[in-house]
């Protein structure tokens, strides 16, 4: 079992991704959860770089960290914890845990050769395999071309724009209600440090 630099980097980013994700699910404080979400998504961006998809890595950081998570934080700030709930999780969380664990084991068992590896003689998983074929140097240009090529992804591309438009209009319709504005800036604060948010 040879450990290369790439394998170490892979392990580090995987740990960031999974550790951040665990914190998202477990943390009491919603603001912290959002920050951990950023960390986790940053780890995913690192994995994308390792997979030779730098454009997707950049897009991941710009869209997820720079936009979606910021939006989530804005939303968190708009809905302060009126009900100071001490419980973060449902009471039936063991069931969910069992379900998730079962799914994980099932996925790993069916999708990976890990089971065979373990069955043979202990842990002998190899961290390096032969490189798959190289990514063409102009793959990014090809991406741009394929997006506007009527024979390839033009239709999904325009549909994506349509989806964004519909989402934006719908969201503005939902959020922008000038008739009732309960979220005045001076609304009563919801008690002490909001660490008990669900």
Kindly state the tokens that stand for 128: 């390096």
196 binds another protein (CB under 8 A): no
Query: Binding another protein by CB under 8 A: which of 2, 121, 123, 137?
Result: 137
Q: Is 120 in the site for another protein (CB under 8 A)?
A: no
Question: Does residue 164 belong to the site contacting another protein (CB under 8 A)?
Answer: yes
Residue 31 makes contact with another protein by CB under 8 A: yes
Of residues 111 and 121, the one with the C-beta less far from another protein: 111
C-alpha angle 144-171-57 in degrees, rounded to nearest 5: 35
Compute the distance between CA of residue 27 and CA of residue 19 in angstroms, rounded to an integer: 12
When the beta carbons of 117 and 122 are compared against another protein, the nearer one is: 117
Residue 23, token pair as written in the block = 């914190």
CA angle 86/89/94 to nearest 5° reads: 135
* Shortest distance, position 120 Cβ to another protein, whole Å: 15
**What gap in Å lies between CA 183 and CA 177, rounded to an integer?**
11
Does 73 sit near another protein (CB under 8 A)? yes
Measured CA angle at 165 (ends 162, 167), to 5 deg: 110
DSSP string, 42-73: HHHHHHHHHTT-HHHHHHIIIIIIIIIHHHHH
16 binds another protein (CB under 8 A): no
For residues 115, 121, 124, 125, the Cα torsion angle rounded to the nearest 10 degrees is -10
Q: Using CB under 8 A, which of 118, 120, 124, 140 touches another protein?
A: 140
C-beta of 184: minimal distance to another protein in Å? Answer: 7
Q: Is 180 in the site for another protein (CB under 8 A)?
A: yes
Region 79-98 residues binding another protein, contact defined as CB under 8 A: 79-80, 82-83, 85, 87-90, 92-93, 95-97
């Amino acid at each position: 079992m040879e450990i290369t630099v790439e394998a170490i980097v892979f392990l580090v980013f995987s740990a960031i991704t999974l550790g951040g994700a665990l914190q998202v699910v477990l943390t009491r404080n919603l603001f912290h959860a959002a920050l951990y979400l950023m960390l986790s998504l940053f780890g995913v961006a690192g994995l994308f770089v390792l997979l030779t998809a730098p454009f997707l890595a950049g897009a991941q950081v710009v869209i997820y960290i720079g936009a979606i998570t910021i939006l989530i934080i804005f939303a968190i700030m708009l809905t302060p914890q009126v009900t100071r709930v001490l419980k973060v999780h449902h009471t039936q969380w063991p069931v969910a845990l069992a379900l998730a664990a079962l799914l994980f084991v099932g996925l790993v068992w069916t999708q990976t050769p890990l089971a065979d590896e373990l069955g043979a003689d202990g842990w002998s998983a190899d961290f390096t395999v032969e490189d798959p074929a190289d990514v063409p140097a102009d793959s990014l240009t090809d991406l741009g071309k394929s997006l506007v090529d009527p024979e390839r992804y033009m239709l999904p591309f325009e549909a994506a724009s349509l989806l964004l438009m519909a989402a934006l209009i719908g969201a503005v319709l939902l959020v922008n209600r000038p008739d009732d504005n309960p979220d005045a800036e001076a609304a009563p604060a919801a008690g002490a440090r909001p660490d008990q948010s669900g």
